[in-house]
Chains A and B, each alone.
Chain A
Amino acid sequence: MKALVLLSSLGVISLLAEIFSFKKLLYPLVLIGLITTFVLNIFDWDTNELYFNMMRYDNYAVAFTSVILVIAFLWFLMSESFFKEETSQADHFALVLFALVGAVIMVSYTNMTMLFLGIEILSISMYVLAGSKKDDVASNEAAFKYLIMGSFATGFLLFGVALIYGSTGSFDLMEIRTFISSHQGTVPAIFYAGVLLMLIGLAFKVSAAPFHFWAPDVYQGAPTVITAIMATIVKTAAFAAFLRLFSTTFAEVSSTWVNILWVMAALTLLVGNITAVLQTNTKRMLAYSSVAHAGYMLLALLAGNQYSNSAILFYTAAYSIGSIGTFCILNIVSTAKGNINTDAFKGLGKSNPFLAFVMTVALLSLAGIPPTAGFFAKYYIFTAAFQAGYAGLVLIAIIASLVGVYYYFKIIIAMYFKEGKGEVIEVQTNHKLLLALVALLILALGLFPDYLIGLL
């Protein structure tokens, strides 16, 4: 709860910055604010506070909030120039902070209305941010597509909520659960329809196939820094929300959705990985890889056992940190070279060994090679799914991750093998700091995963 209050206040303060003209101070203020929020958020551990039956700050919420805050901090380190170059900077700060507020609500809700509010607060901020390059056609297109598809998904979600409310008479997760267990066999059919509609709505949000079509276009069109938020914070929050709903409230009716989710997971893994191979545009490739990663996380969702929560927590952390690193380097390289294809990375190993090294670590992590965090994340999810008896799906996931190696290594090969023009790219200090942190976190999480998975 402290996190929510602090983040909202930070957002409001950012809006005031334009009026009282302390814009220059805003960047350090937000960074300090995020650190403070992170620290205070830790104090919520084990308090298990419940707010008006709307939100519960259980350890699940605190853990996911912490992950989101860490990623947000890294993201701000990456995007200083985004705020400098564009007009109406203060609004951008506020929008990102409000998106974080939405994300925090999504990981802590206990009431369907809060789920809806969280998703909307997050999404509306993101729609605007996707279009923040006003004179860029692609950015406008991305914003528009994102808005239309996002609203569509929200429609499904809301319709599902309505049907569930209609059949159980409550928005509250616990009450719905009690209703299901006390009405074994007599739950009305529209309840199941509601569950499926919510499943579709959330699948849209996490960009699971076959509801992933918006993602590549939006990811590609939006400014790279905004894509980085979508791929990391939005995905983390959406999965946390997804899991919170389906692992507790709808767990009892799992027979209605497991088969659908099974197919979705398999499709997402295959479509994401195979399509990513075909991309030459690195940003689009990363978009498909992000779809593919949703597939792995669906495995943990499907497993629905004692490992699921920590598996998703670890996976989102590992994946987000790796993604922030790759997006940051992609942004640096594509701005310097004016080219966003794999070719832009040619010769980076020689001209900027540090960038190439961090990129390699991040890509190895995304590909799931030991001893990086990504390997352990995948391993943990596969174990969870294996224990739940989804050996077939694990096999598909293993094959899919082999395909994944192919497209991640394309960049590594380009960096080290191909000769480029060899101009040294200037890297800002905060980017250096961010990238060093990313490499460090990836290795630390890979070598000592117990500290994170032991939490939940």
Chain B
Amino acid sequence: MITLLLIFFPLIAALLLLSVKGEQVKNIALGAAIVEFIISIFALTQFQHNAEVQFDFNTPWINSLGINFYVGIDGISMLMVLLTTFLVPIIILTSFKTEYKNPSLFYSLILAMQMALIGVFVSLDGFLFYVFWELALIPIYFICLLWGGENRAKITFKFFVYTLSGSLVMLGGLIYLYQHTEGLHTFNIAALYKAGQGLDATHQGYVFIAMFMAFAIKMPIFPFHTWQPDTYTVAPTQGTMMLSGIMLKMGTYGLIRWLLPLAPLGVGEWGYIAIILSAIGIVYASCIAIVQKDFKRLIAYSSIAHVGLISAGILAMNIQGLQGGMIQMLSHGVNVVGLFFIVDLIQKRTGTRDIASLGGIRNVNPQFAVLFLFVLLGSVALPLTNGFIGEFLLLNGLYQYSVWITAFAGLSVILGAVYMLRSYQSIMLGETNSITSTFAPLAGSEKAVLLILCAAIIAFGIYPKPLLDISGPAIEKLLSSIAH
């Protein structure tokens, strides 16, 4: 039942929020998101650290087609749910200093999106998964369309069509597997696994392509990334955070939950190409990030690089790669939200995101400089920050797959340091100029967000074991089920 509560509480909150007018909207939205976080923490305390699916709920939904409303949480889902419920209140808090038109709709859409995201992470029925997957797209489309920046109609439409095409291909793959389930066809995840693993390598290859397409577009993996920089740049800050912090993880989560077990032989057939694409994406996006002038765009590209490494590590199909992927999903979520918030802070105070025209903010606001530095170090994966653990495990996992690809993908660590440190240097250090000399001190809510994020970055950099313990058994079970 707690799973149902996790899914539907944000939805109910979103609907109620629509009727609220005035100043209280932000506080109520934040309150709802915090309650949701507390529910998830409660779920965590009840969670048994084993490989089984817990808090499961299964009821027939569309009986005649074997579709069930089947949800449940295992270690992998647990981490993703925690990431979502942790980030959404923070994302809402980041908007406290921003005045949006029609705020009740804005926050209502964010909560509605949270509902769909949690649905994606707990679905254990292929059809239900698809429905939540698509459902997540609608709120974010409207968030970008209604509150986005210049040229948003065209860019958000491209984003919509791009991801929709990917999803439809995935739906084709799911229907194909559904037709191969035994007896009365069903979308039950176990039956789909069985059907997928029963196919020969060539057909699993087709399934792999169909599913990977959707996930690759969502993450995005080179060469399916062309929607991403524009969309991230044009979306309102909170939209970008939802997209990069959480929505992107739908793709990587999909790889673990739906791609590997459905088509393990398909990974053998096509995984090599997918890993190479991911690796190319890492280096390519890093190189483009280096030459970006717009700081928000730079982070958008850095996100492509990071997610490329996650995808490559997961597709290497070993315990280190998968565990690294899990940890890095969480770290990336935390870090990227922090970075986009910093972009927002700078833009609101100086009116620009142009790296070259900023400088010397540290002299004006040393406190901000320190907090920014922590987030940045997490993002470049310095040891003792959260980014390091994930990246280390991912490269370790990839190393067992191929030394050469690891060497190539490992460039991301160096290139990442190059573009992040350079932009830090240019923005924060150097001479204070006319734009930055009036850099206002951080407000309470802004300080709170950065402090929470920094605390998470350091805490899980030093002691990641609790997180690894949550997902560990489920990952091991998943790997052993596809090993033979």
Give the interface of A toward B (CB within 8 A).
310, 349, 364, 369-371, 375-376, 379-380, 382-383, 386-387, 394-395, 398, 401-402, 405-406, 409, 413, 416-418, 449-450, 453-454
Contact = CB atoms under 8 A, between A and B. Distances in A.
- The interface centre, meaning the residue of B62, B134, B137 with most chain A CB atoms within 10 A of its CB, is B62
16 contacts: A310-B64, A371-B135, A375-B131, A380-B65, A383-B65, A383-B178, A386-B176, A386-B179, A406-B161, A413-B153, A416-B142, A416-B146, A417-B146, A450-B60, A450-B64, A453-B64
B399 interface: no
A370 B131 contact: yes
A364 B168 CA distance: 15
A383 B142 CA distance: 30
Given A386-B179, A450-B64, A453-B62, A405 B164 contact: yes
Contacts of B165: 402
Interface of A is mostly: helix
A387 B168 contact: no
Contacts of A413: 145, 153, 157
Given A405-B160, A417-B153, A386 B168 contact: no
Interface string B151-187: 0110001001100110010011001101100000000
Given A402-B165, A409-B160, A417-B145, A454 B131 contact: no
A382 B62 contact: no
Contact of B175 (A382, A416, A453): A382
B76 to A, nearest CB: 24
B62 A450 contact: yes
Contact of A454 (B64, B142, B145, B161): B64
B61 interface: yes
A398 B168 contact: yes
B175 A386 contact: yes
Chain B: number of interface residues, binned into ranges:
20 to 34
B65 to A, nearest CB: 7
A402 B164 contact: yes
B469 to A, nearest CB: 35
B145 A450 contact: no
Interface of B: 60-65, 130-131, 134-135, 137-138, 142, 145-146, 152-153, 157, 160-161, 164-165, 168, 171-172, 175-176, 178-179
A251 to B, nearest CB: 22
A369 B138 contact: yes
- The interface centre, meaning the residue of A382, A395, A401, A409 with most chain B CB atoms within 10 A of its CB, is A409
A433 B385 CA distance: 57
A97 to B, nearest CB: 34
A383 B187 CA distance: 13
A437 B164 CA distance: 28
Given A398-B168, A406-B161, A416 B63 contact: no
B145 A370 contact: no
A319 B168 CA distance: 20
B63 A450 contact: yes
A349 B63 CA distance: 38
